Structure 1
Amino acid sequence: MVTTQSLLQDSISISGPPNAPPIVFLHGLHLGRYSWKDHIELLVPRFRCVTLDLPRHGTMSEVPFDDEHIMQQLDYLFASVLRRPALLVGYSLGGFIAILYAARAQEQTSGLILTGATLDLTKWRRLAYRVLISVGARIPSRIFEACSRAFFYATLPKALAQAVSSHSFDQHAFNEAVALLEGCEFSRLLERYRKPVLIINGQYDIIFRPQARHFARKVNAHVEVAPGSDHVFPLRRPDIFSERVASFYENLNVGTS
């Protein structure tokens, strides 16, 4: 499928002062750009905030979730829209994509924040990821959407759950994500990155937190833990997460000034 410039433009939202430091947010699976809505409201007075719908989400729901289309979208964003390096923030699936992009195009970024995305999809984890994602792909769409809505309303603030639930999502993303990501040793990819990295996970994120320090050693990243929280921490506590993003970016500027 050819992704037109018009479709790429429609997939991107930008808020905040034009000359403010830019931050790009990449969302998790089945979430979309509106999952960052509360964070943007908190950050726009100080930062130029960019959110986008990754392929198979929202305005990009008919675009395949594969390396070609993801990289085309991010290249367009950085080269044609922002035209300057930005802090790249990735949550869950978006964190994996952030690592893939930062490892290839680190000159487009000023730093990297990963949350709920420190996991090498190798060995037994590769099989576990394949099985878990395959389940989502096989559930009939009506049942899947009903279960998703119930999950969102149980774990997210009501306004955010409403926004996310109304967002388009194509279940082809599950199998396409497996094809793209399984077998990836993300910690080794991250090792190529030469700019500042912050890793922040919920205390009870039992899937992604255990490997955080292994990832951090690859790039001398700073690791933080959100007490009493889990994998949904960035969405459930946008106030805390946004402040950590702002603080990290401000320290970047101090370190390079």
Structure 2
Amino acid sequence: MYYKNNIGSIYYEVHGQENATTIVFSHGVTMDHRTFKEQVNALKDEYRVIVWDMPYHGKSSEIHKNLQFSTTAADFIIELLDSLDIPNAILSGLSLGSFVTQQAAYKYPDRVVATIHLSGGSLYPKCPKWLKVLNPVFSLPISILSHQSLAKHFAKHKAITPHTIAYLEEGVHKTGKKALMHLINEMINDMVIGLPEPLEQPMLITYGDHELSPIKKMNKKWHHNSLNSQLSVVENAHHILNQDNPEECNKVLLYFLKSLA
């Protein structure tokens, strides 16, 4: 199904029980709704599960490059909920999707019951402006590497299982270099702009045991500074923990979801 507004169109799917608590999953860079296949299967009997392709990804359209990606995507989520007559939801985001989830939770606090962050990073407090020097650092190798080399390098630094690596390689080819550079720059800009205050909703922070050390440290600090949060580590998983080890990831998700009841 598609939802359209004057900015663009997004593809989405709704699974599960119509009158149950709604969970919206937002994916990471170069990915699409398919990354959450195992989460949909695990949750649809008890929850209403929405997965979607964010702008620039999958079956969704691009948006104007001057629009801030994360806030625009957050608006899409709320508009989609409005179109489906859903008053509020639990938002879950993977990597880039975590930034989108935070923007939605901050901008629309009454619409977001709780947040789940898979391999995410806190937008509060904001990062120093010098972080923007990383934009060309990331853009240069993306521009000079072949598509095949870029896809392999990108995937092997985010996943450990063959099927997840293959999925990420496919996503890099579909997304393309131009969009990938733009989205990475948007993530860095998000971190510099930040949020003015921490989120108030209950929060799950989780990452894989093979995750990069800086991201592990960032998530531990995020949990330490967030009184209403839970922290879990998924074994035998890298950045895309929901695909590397879906069984363990789903256990972590269900434990948190049951704690909200």
Question: TM-score band, normalised by the shorter chain?
Answer: 0.7 to 0.9
Residues 103-141 of structure 1, C-alpha deviations (whole Å, 9 max, x = no match): 111211110111211256734982575245414641467
What residue in structure 2 maps to residue 181 of structure 1?
187
Residues 1:155 and 2:180 are matched in the alignment = no
What residue in structure 2 maps to residue 75 of structure 1?
78
What residue in structure 1 maps to residue 23 of structure 2?
23
Segment drifting more, 110-119 vs 122-131: 122-131
For residue 24 of structure 1, report the CA deviation from its aligned partner: 0.6
Structure 2 unaligned runs (5+)? none
Q: Is the 8 A contact 1:28 1:94 kept in 2?
A: yes
Equivalences for 1:131-142 in 2 at 5 Å? Answer: 131=136, 133-135=138-140, 137-139=142-144, 142=147
Percent identity over paired residues: 20
User: Match for 2:243 among 223, 235, 238?
Assistant: 235
- Aligned mates of 2:239, 2:155 — CA distance in 1: 17
Q: Is the 8 A contact 2:127 2:192 kept in 1?
A: no
Segment drifting more, 112-121 vs 21-30: 112-121
What SS does structure 2 have at the residue aligned with 1:210?
helix
What residue in structure 1 maps to residue 112 of structure 2?
109
For residue 33 of structure 1, report the CA deviation from its aligned partner: 0.8
Segment drifting more, 153-162 vs 75-84: 153-162
| Root mean square deviation of aligned Cα | 3.5
Q: Is the 8 A contact 1:55 1:64 kept in 2?
A: no
Residues 195-244 of structure 1, C-alpha deviations (whole Å, 9 max, x = no match): 10111112231231111132123331211222343323222111111222
What residue in structure 1 maps to residue 258 of structure 2?
250
Residues 2-23 of structure 1, C-alpha deviations (whole Å, 9 max, x = no match): x834997751111111112111
What residue in structure 2 maps to residue 58 of structure 1?
58
For residue 251 of structure 1, report the CA deviation from its aligned partner: 1.1
User: Match for 1:165 among 144, 163, 170?
Assistant: 170
For residue 193 of structure 1, report the CA deviation from its aligned partner: 1.6
Segment drifting more, 63-72 vs 84-93: 63-72
Normalising by structure 2, report the TM-score.
Answer: 0.79
Cα distance change, pair 53–133 in 1 and its aligned pair in 2 (3 A): farther
What residue in structure 1 maps to residue 217 of structure 2?
210
- Aligned mates of 1:204, 1:125 — CA distance in 2: 28
- Aligned mates of 1:187, 1:219 — CA distance in 2: 19
For residue 85 of structure 1, report the CA deviation from its aligned partner: 1.2
Residues 132-168 of structure 1, C-alpha deviations (whole Å, 9 max, x = no match): 5414641467436753797499734538845972784
Residues 1:219 and 2:226 are matched in the alignment = yes
Cα distance change, pair 8–184 in 1 and its aligned pair in 2 (3 A): closer
- Aligned mates of 2:168, 2:226 — CA distance in 1: 36
Normalising by structure 1, report the TM-score.
Answer: 0.80
Residues 7-56 of structure 1, C-alpha deviations (whole Å, 9 max, x = no match): 97751111111112111111011111111112111211111111111111
Residues 89-108 of structure 1, C-alpha deviations (whole Å, 9 max, x = no match): 11111111111221111211
Figure out how many residues of one structure are paired with residues of the other and give that number: 251
Segment drifting more, 28-37 vs 55-64: 55-64
What SS does structure 2 have at the residue aligned with 1:198?
strand
What SS does structure 1 have at the residue aligned with 2:90?
strand
For residue 84 of structure 1, report the CA deviation from its aligned partner: 2.0
What SS does structure 1 have at the residue aligned with 2:214?
coil
Q: Kindly provide the amino acid, as one letter, of the partner of residue 158 in structure 1.
A: H
Structure 1 unaligned runs (5+)? none
Cα distance change, pair 123–27 in 1 and its aligned pair in 2 (3 A): same
What residue in structure 2 maps to residue 118 of structure 1?
121
Segment drifting more, 135-144 vs 40-49: 135-144
Q: Is the 8 A contact 2:9 2:61 kept in 1?
A: no
